[in-house]
């Protein structure tokens, strides 16, 4: 992450550079001012020397000025000896003039500049760190409110830099947590509704069994009546067993704990396997099953997919009159393989079609023993394997289920 993208840091660095430039400019200004002052003092002293020499000695002003303007002097050693005789040298302020005031001014100004520069840098860093601390404090407060499940917050930042990226990442996490919270709420409601439906489904056979058991306590019942009641109890026990088994399977599908094993099988061979559990039902109703179309090699979990197809074909058989026909057509394309499972039975009412795959939904023409879980399970099994399922139907003409497995 490039920290120079942080606008706050860039602004602080620009301000620091501006302060440094101002300090350098001030140093140059003071140095120039001191040089001018020294030049002015030297000019005044030279003017006094010219005036005194020209008055007391046989030298013209031009000769004195020419002498002062020379860069080097041949008699400088002799002059030093003469000055030494009078107790003076170049370091003597009485000879060259006092620059203590200028020296004190320079030191004072430079100290003031250094102090101001340090204060400016300190303030700039303090303001930067204060703003950074304030921003981090806001993020910390935001996270604490987020932990308390307060998702109605907006921390998105359109600026650049590490801190802004952190804010945007936290905002993404907030959106994700909010969505997950909504999903959890829906799951809880869904679970509560399912528990209510399961309780209702189990209550009916249990109530029937309790009534039968009470009747069996009657000593006046004949052997035939007892066998009849025992048969009803046995039938209800089988229904409870099937219902509990189906609900456990649905729970596994909902929790996504099932690992689907992909196996290769021909489409027609798979359809013959799927129809086996309901062959007796079809024989009782003298129904026939026809397989048509392509016969590609499929790759999916054979057992689970077979259970989905069993539920679909069982629904077709139950809603088809005696002597009717169940048909399975296979269409293989470059993108998917489609199974069309159809019947020529009573069909499904248009108002029921949008809800036909919902759990515990019973269509208007469902028989009294229907629970409304078979097609819902088929939907879950197929969609869990990246497949799709749809249905179309016309009353008194039949129903067709379309199942597609994409390649």
Q: What is the pLDDT of residue 365?
A: 67
For CA atoms 304, 309, 312, 315, the dihedral sign is negative
Contact at 8 Å (CB) between 326 and 320?
yes
Q: How far apart are the first and last CA of the chain?
A: 41
Tell how strand 387-394 and strand 297-300 pair up: unpaired
Burial 232-266 (b: 16+ CB within 10 A, else e): bbeebeebbeebeebbebbeebbeeebeeeeeebe
Q: Determine the Cα–Cα distance for residues 402 and 298; give it in Å rounded to an integer.
A: 16
Q: What is the pLDDT of residue 243?
A: 77
Residues lower than pLDDT 50 in the chain? 1, 95-96
CA atoms within 13 Å, Cβ hemisphere of 46: 15
Residue spans of the domains in the chain: they are 3-147, 153-257, 263-406
Q: Determine the Cα–Cα distance for residues 400 and 340; give it in Å rounded to an integer.
A: 6
Q: Is 309 exposed, middle or buried (0-12, 13-18, 19+ CB in 10 A)?
A: buried
> And the tokens for 143?
């996270």
Tell how strand 288-293 and strand 325-332 pair up: parallel
Helix, strand or coil, per DSSP, at residue 267: helix
Q: What is the pLDDT of residue 1?
A: 44
Q: How far is CA 8 from CA 118, 142, 157, 306, in A?
A: 20, 21, 13, 63
DSSP string, 135-175: HHHHHHHHHHHHHTT---------S-SHHHHHHHHHHHHHH
Q: Determine the Cα–Cα distance for residues 161 and 8; give it in Å rounded to an integer.
A: 9
Which residue shows structure tokens 């992909």? 262
Contact at 8 Å (CB) between 393 and 399?
yes
DSSP string, 285-332: TT-EEEEEE--PEEEE-HHHHHHHHHHHHHHHHHTS-TT-EEEEEEEE
CA 102 to chain centre: 67
Q: Determine the Cα–Cα distance for residues 266 and 195; give it in Å rounded to an integer.
A: 39
- CATH 3.30.565.10 at 263-406, yes or no: yes
pTM, two decimal places: 0.54
Q: For the domain bounded by 153-257, which CATH number is listed?
A: 1.10.287.130
Helix, strand or coil, per DSSP, at residue 263: strand
């Amino acid at each position: 992450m490039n920290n120079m993208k942080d606008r706050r840091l860039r602004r602080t660095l620009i301000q620091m550079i501006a302060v440094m430039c101002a300090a350098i400019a001030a140093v140059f200004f003071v140095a120039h001012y001191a040089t001018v002052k020294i030049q002015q003092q030297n000019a005044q002293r030279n003017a006094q020397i010219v005036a005194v020499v020209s008055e007391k000695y046989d030298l013209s002003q031009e000769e004195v000025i020419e002498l002062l303007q020379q860069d080097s002097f041949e008699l400088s050693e002799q002059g030093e000896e003469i000055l030494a005789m009078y107790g003076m040298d170049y370091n003597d302020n009485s000879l060259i003039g006092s620059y203590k005031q200028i020296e004190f001014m320079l030191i004072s100004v430079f100290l003031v500049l250094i102090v101001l520069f340090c204060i400016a840098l300190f303030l700039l860093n303090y303001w930067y760190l204060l703003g950074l601390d304030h921003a981090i404090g806001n993020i910390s407060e935001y996270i604490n409110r987020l932990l308390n499940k307060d998702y109605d917050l907006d921390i998105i930042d359109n600026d650049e830099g590490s801190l802004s990226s952190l804010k945007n990442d936290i905002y993404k996490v907030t959106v994700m947590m909010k969505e997950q919270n909504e999903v959890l709420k829906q799951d809880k409601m869904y679970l509560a509704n399912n528990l209510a439906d399961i309780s209702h489904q189990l209550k009916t056979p249990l109530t029937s069994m309790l009534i039968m058991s009470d009747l069996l306590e009657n000593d006046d019942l004949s052997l035939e009546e007892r066998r009849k009641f025992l048969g009803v109890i046995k039938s209800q026990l089988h229904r409870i067993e099937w219902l509990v088994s189906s609900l456990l399977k649905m729970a596994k599908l909902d929790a996504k704990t099932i690992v689907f094993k992909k196996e290769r099988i021909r489409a027609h061979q798979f359809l013959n396997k799927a129809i086996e559990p309901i062959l007796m039902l079809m024989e009782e109703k003298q129904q026939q099953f026809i397989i048509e179309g392509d016969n590609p090699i499929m790759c999916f979990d054979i057992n689970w997919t077979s259970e989905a197809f069993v539920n679909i074909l069982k629904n077709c058989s139950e809603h088809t009159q005696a002597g009717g026909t169940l048909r399975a057509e296979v269409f293989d394309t470059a993108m998917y393989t489609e199974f069309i499972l159809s019947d020529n039975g009573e069909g499904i009412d248009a108002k029921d079609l949008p809800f036909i795959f919902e759990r515990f939904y019973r269509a208007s023409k469902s028989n009294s023993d229907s629970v409304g879980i078979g097609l819902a399970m088929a939907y879950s099994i197929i969609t869990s394997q990246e497949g799709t399922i749809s249905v179309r139907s016309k009353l008194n003409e039949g129903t067709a289920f379309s199942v597609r497995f994409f390649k």
